[in-house]
Amino acid sequence: MIPRHQKVIFSVLLAASLVMAVVLWQLRDRAHQRLIAGEDSAPTNAPLVAPAEQATLLVANDADNTLLAQTHSLPLPADPGARARAILGKLLDLYSTPDSSHPAPGGGNAVSQVYLLPALGEKDPLHPDAELAVVNLTGAFVSSHPSGLETETLTVLSICGTLHANFPRVTQVRFLVDGIERHTLAGHADLTRTYLATEAVPTAEGAHQ
Amino acid sequence: MRWTSWIAAVLLAAGMTASAQAPPAPPAPQPRFVVVLDAAHGGDDYGGRLASGQPEKAYTLTMSVRLRSQLGVRGVQVITTREQDTGIDLNHRAEIANHANAQACISLHASESGSGVHLFVSSLYPMQPSRFAPWKTAQAAWVTRSLALAGVLNSALLHAGVTVTLSRSSLPGVDSMACPAVAVEMAPDRDASLKTTADLDNAGYQSRVAGALAAALLEWQTEAHAQ
């Protein structure tokens, strides 16, 4: 025989559970509606296929400590920052291949952004429109980069030289990692200083690809 | 008048006697020749990881000890920035080098990338020495001498059959050193087809490189004394 007060408690708890289930169902529906309303389900603009253009890459070679200028054809966007990122992405893609002359994992996604700004310091009368490129590398690329004076220096100089080869107005380059300044690339190459693009001099002209 | 001329005559005679009896002047002492060896990394700073699993900090210390021994037996005074696995600030390394008033400063590194020995000189633009040098660019006044030292090291290493690459780079720590300074990075020895002929752990290879560096520093000592 179940006491009466226990029956009352059971009925109250059952009723409360049902009410809560209904409220939860309604809240879920409202959240779902909000999510659908936030999404722009209209068809997006048709993707523009950028025409393939020639880009000069200064490809590093660890074996003889050189930078080889190579010409590659790749689709490039019109925006200068996005264009610079695409070119550097191609360069770092070459480094991530198994038979690379300068192995460095990460590939095209290693560069988050490239910002092109007016150059630092007093205006050079010979280059009044000189620009500073700020290259924002990903932390994943930096943490997986091989350590060593030569390999790190070559990575930095090949980025500087490639930017200058394709954007002659870029005379200075600075580096960030995940948006903040970092002392070194992988323990050796100094990332706190402003590099002059002219520090990277190609050793030879490579075959066009 | 008579007294003064008498005193002058006595003094002149005494001076002549003294000069006649004075021993010949000793030869001018050889100027001090000091080499600073900086084993890069240490303590919490492991540097790179080598193929053997050994951290770069341990390898550079081994090479520093090996080179110090080779120079020590040849009578060269060597000052090292560290003798054990301790972390030393880059500024403190430069302070040690600058206090030593050294004629050569060698920063030792190691890497699995590349081939042979990589020699690096600061990429600072050469400047005239001045009484007060900015700390971060003190090496600028020494870049020309550093390039000459790198040339001597290059010749000795090539003579020992080691592949060498010469380069310039921004070198925090070395850029603050007021002495002829070169960063020496050891990599495995490889042939033309990039096949490894000697690993970093190869004792013979280590000895060959250390011997070549010691020979180069002795030649540098001769050049320094000749100037």
Q: Please state the domain extents for chain A.
A: 1-37, 52-205
HSE at residue B172, side-chain half, CA atoms within 13 A, is 16
The burial of B1, by beta-carbon neighbours within 10 Å (0-12 exposed, 13-18 middle, 19 or more buried), is given as exposed
Q: What is the mean pLDDT of residues A186-205?
A: 82
The burial of A19, by beta-carbon neighbours within 10 Å (0-12 exposed, 13-18 middle, 19 or more buried), is given as exposed
Least confident of A7-21, A27-41, B51-65, B203-217: A27-41
Residues of A in contact with B194 (CB under 8 A): 63
Taking only the tens place, the pLDDT of each residue in A88-127 is: 999 999 999 999 999 998 888 999 999 999 988 777 777 7
What's the pLDDT score for residue B21?
53
The reply to whether A64 touches chain B by the CB within 8 Å rule is yes
Report chain A's mean pLDDT, rounded to a whole number.
88
Please enumerate in sequence order all residues whose Cβ is within 8 A of that of B24, keeping only pairs 6 or more positions apart, or say none: none
What's the pLDDT score for residue B194?
84
C-alpha span between A174 and A136 (Å, rounded) = 9
What's the pLDDT score for residue A1?
76
CB contact under 8 A, B112 and A63: no
Taking only the tens place, the pLDDT of each residue in B198-214 is: 999 999 999 999 999 99
Taking only the tens place, the pLDDT of each residue in A51-60 is: 889 999 999 9
What's the pLDDT score for residue B20?
47
Superfamily of domain B31-226: Zn-dependent exopeptidases (3.40.630.40)
The reply to whether B167 touches chain A by the CB within 8 Å rule is yes
Chain A contacts in chain B segment 75-104 (CB below 8 A): none
Judged against a pLDDT cut of 50, whether residue A29 lies above it is answered with yes
The phi-psi region of residue B116 (left if phi > 0; otherwise alpha if psi is between -120 and 50; otherwise beta) is left
A-B Cβ pairs (cutoff 8 Å, strict):
73
Radius of gyration of chain A (CA): 28
Chain B contacts in chain A segment 2-61 (CB below 8 A): none
Name the pTM for this structure: 0.78
The phi-psi region of residue B42 (left if phi > 0; otherwise alpha if psi is between -120 and 50; otherwise beta) is left
CB-nearest partner of A149 from B45, B118, B166: B118
Per-residue pLDDT of chain B (227 residues; tens, 9 = 90+): 455 566 555 554 555 554 445 556 665 556 689 999 999 999 999 999 999 999 999 999 999 999 999 999 999 999 999 999 999 999 999 999 999 999 999 999 999 999 999 999 999 989 888 888 889 899 999 999 999 999 999 999 999 999 999 999 888 899 999 999 999 999 999 988 889 999 999 999 999 999 999 999 999 998 877 76
